[in-house]
Structure 1
Amino acid sequence: MTIEEIGTVIRERRKLLGITQPDLAEMAQVSINTLYKLERGEFNPSVKILNQLAEVLGLELSLGLKKTDR
Protein backbone atom coordinates (compact mmCIF):
# COMPACT_ATOMS: atom_id res chain seq x y z
CA MET A 1 0.00 0.00 0.00
CA THR A 2 1.36 3.43 -0.89
CA ILE A 3 1.43 6.47 1.39
CA GLU A 4 -1.28 8.03 -0.77
CA GLU A 5 -3.50 4.95 -0.44
CA ILE A 6 -3.07 4.91 3.34
CA GLY A 7 -4.07 8.57 3.47
CA THR A 8 -7.13 7.90 1.35
CA VAL A 9 -8.26 5.01 3.58
CA ILE A 10 -7.88 7.13 6.71
CA ARG A 11 -9.69 10.12 5.18
CA GLU A 12 -12.57 8.02 3.84
CA ARG A 13 -13.02 6.14 7.11
CA ARG A 14 -12.91 9.38 9.11
CA LYS A 15 -15.58 10.93 6.88
CA LEU A 16 -17.72 7.77 7.02
CA LEU A 17 -17.69 8.00 10.80
CA GLY A 18 -18.44 11.73 10.72
CA ILE A 19 -15.26 12.72 12.54
CA THR A 20 -13.53 16.01 11.80
CA GLN A 21 -9.78 16.22 11.33
CA PRO A 22 -9.29 18.18 14.57
CA ASP A 23 -11.40 15.67 16.52
CA LEU A 24 -9.56 12.67 15.09
CA ALA A 25 -6.19 14.26 15.77
CA GLU A 26 -7.19 14.85 19.38
CA MET A 27 -8.66 11.37 19.88
CA ALA A 28 -5.60 9.68 18.35
CA GLN A 29 -3.19 12.03 20.11
CA VAL A 30 -1.46 13.16 16.91
CA SER A 31 -0.98 16.71 15.68
CA ILE A 32 -3.53 18.15 13.26
CA ASN A 33 -0.67 18.95 10.89
CA THR A 34 0.43 15.30 10.91
CA LEU A 35 -3.10 14.11 10.13
CA TYR A 36 -3.58 16.72 7.41
CA LYS A 37 -0.34 15.74 5.67
CA LEU A 38 -1.06 12.03 6.08
CA GLU A 39 -4.51 12.30 4.48
CA ARG A 40 -2.94 14.17 1.55
CA GLY A 41 -0.23 11.54 1.08
CA GLU A 42 2.51 13.99 2.06
CA PHE A 43 3.68 12.26 5.25
CA ASN A 44 5.21 8.86 5.88
CA PRO A 45 3.79 7.90 9.29
CA SER A 46 5.40 5.68 11.86
CA VAL A 47 3.74 2.43 12.86
CA LYS A 48 2.91 4.05 16.20
CA ILE A 49 0.94 6.86 14.53
CA LEU A 50 -0.83 4.40 12.23
CA ASN A 51 -1.78 2.26 15.24
CA GLN A 52 -3.15 5.27 17.12
CA LEU A 53 -5.31 6.31 14.14
CA ALA A 54 -6.40 2.75 13.39
CA GLU A 55 -7.53 2.25 16.99
CA VAL A 56 -9.80 5.31 16.88
CA LEU A 57 -11.12 4.54 13.39
CA GLY A 58 -11.76 0.84 14.01
CA LEU A 59 -9.20 -0.21 11.43
CA GLU A 60 -6.67 -3.03 11.60
CA LEU A 61 -3.06 -2.96 10.45
CA SER A 62 -1.64 -6.13 8.99
CA LEU A 63 1.54 -7.31 7.32
CA GLY A 64 1.71 -9.95 4.68
CA LEU A 65 4.24 -11.68 2.48
CA LYS A 66 4.49 -10.65 -1.13
CA LYS A 67 4.00 -13.38 -3.67
CA THR A 68 7.16 -13.97 -5.65
CA ASP A 69 7.77 -15.58 -9.02
CA ARG A 70 9.99 -18.28 -7.50
Structure 2
Amino acid sequence: MLLNIGESIKRRRKALKITQPYLADLAEVSVNTIFKIESGEANPTIEVITKIADVLGMKIQLVIKNINEPEDENS
Protein backbone atom coordinates (compact mmCIF):
# COMPACT_ATOMS: atom_id res chain seq x y z
CA MET A 1 0.00 0.00 0.00
CA LEU A 2 1.29 3.45 -0.85
CA LEU A 3 0.80 6.21 1.67
CA ASN A 4 0.65 9.81 0.70
CA ILE A 5 2.26 12.51 2.80
CA GLY A 6 -1.08 13.49 4.30
CA GLU A 7 -1.87 9.96 5.43
CA SER A 8 1.56 9.63 6.99
CA ILE A 9 1.18 12.92 8.86
CA LYS A 10 -2.36 12.13 9.96
CA ARG A 11 -1.36 8.69 11.25
CA ARG A 12 1.49 10.15 13.32
CA ARG A 13 -0.62 13.07 14.59
CA LYS A 14 -3.36 10.73 15.78
CA ALA A 15 -0.83 8.38 17.39
CA LEU A 16 0.42 11.36 19.40
CA LYS A 17 -3.17 12.44 20.16
CA ILE A 18 -2.56 15.90 18.70
CA THR A 19 -5.43 17.86 17.19
CA GLN A 20 -5.18 19.56 13.81
CA PRO A 21 -5.43 23.04 15.41
CA TYR A 22 -2.67 22.23 17.90
CA LEU A 23 -0.40 20.83 15.18
CA ALA A 24 -1.07 23.89 13.03
CA ASP A 25 -0.17 26.19 15.92
CA LEU A 26 3.06 24.35 16.71
CA ALA A 27 4.08 24.13 13.04
CA GLU A 28 3.11 27.77 12.41
CA VAL A 29 0.77 26.94 9.54
CA SER A 30 -2.98 27.34 9.21
CA VAL A 31 -5.45 24.70 10.33
CA ASN A 32 -6.76 24.74 6.77
CA THR A 33 -3.29 23.80 5.53
CA ILE A 34 -3.16 20.80 7.87
CA PHE A 35 -6.67 19.75 6.84
CA LYS A 36 -5.87 20.00 3.13
CA ILE A 37 -2.59 18.10 3.46
CA GLU A 38 -4.17 15.29 5.47
CA SER A 39 -7.12 15.00 3.10
CA GLY A 40 -4.86 14.97 0.04
CA GLU A 41 -6.22 18.24 -1.31
CA ALA A 42 -2.86 20.00 -1.15
CA ASN A 43 0.74 19.13 -1.87
CA PRO A 44 2.83 20.82 0.80
CA THR A 45 6.15 22.47 0.15
CA ILE A 46 9.30 20.93 1.58
CA GLU A 47 9.36 23.82 4.08
CA VAL A 48 5.89 22.97 5.39
CA ILE A 49 6.65 19.24 5.47
CA THR A 50 9.81 19.99 7.47
CA LYS A 51 7.92 22.12 10.01
CA ILE A 52 5.24 19.47 10.50
CA ALA A 53 7.75 16.62 10.64
CA ASP A 54 9.76 18.48 13.29
CA VAL A 55 6.67 18.98 15.46
CA LEU A 56 5.67 15.33 15.09
CA GLY A 57 9.18 14.07 15.78
CA MET A 58 9.44 12.50 12.33
CA LYS A 59 12.44 12.48 10.05
CA ILE A 60 11.47 14.10 6.78
CA GLN A 61 13.08 11.21 4.93
CA LEU A 62 10.58 8.83 6.53
CA VAL A 63 7.63 11.05 5.61
CA ILE A 64 8.75 11.08 1.99
CA LYS A 65 9.81 7.41 2.00
CA ASN A 66 6.26 6.41 2.91
CA ILE A 67 4.97 7.68 -0.41
CA ASN A 68 7.69 6.15 -2.54
CA GLU A 69 7.94 2.60 -1.23
CA PRO A 70 5.12 0.08 -1.23
CA GLU A 71 4.46 -1.86 1.94
CA ASP A 72 5.71 -5.44 1.88
CA GLU A 73 2.73 -7.56 0.88
CA ASN A 74 3.91 -10.43 3.08
CA SER A 75 3.82 -8.45 6.32
TM-score bucket of the superposed structures, by smaller chain: 0.7 to 0.9
Q: Provide structure 1 residue ranges, at least 5 long, that are not aligned to the other structure.
A: 65-70
Shift >3 Å, 4+ stretches? none
Higher relative contact order (CA 8 A, sep 6+): 2
When Rg is computed on C-alpha atoms for both structures, the one with the higher figure is 1
2:26 paired residue number: 27
CA distance in 2, matches of 1:53, 1:24: 7
Which amino acid in the other structure matches residue 51 of structure 1?
T
TM-score (norm 2): 0.76
Which amino acid in the other structure matches residue 17 of structure 2?
G
2:5 paired residue number: 6
Alignment coverage as a number of residue pairs: 63
| Structure 1 residue 5: Cα displacement | 1.1
| Structure 1 residue 43: Cα displacement | 0.3
TM-score (norm 1): 0.81
Q: Aligned-residue CA RMSD in angstroms?
A: 2.1
Q: Provide structure 2 residue ranges, at least 5 long, that are not aligned to the other structure.
A: 66-75
1:40 paired residue number: 39
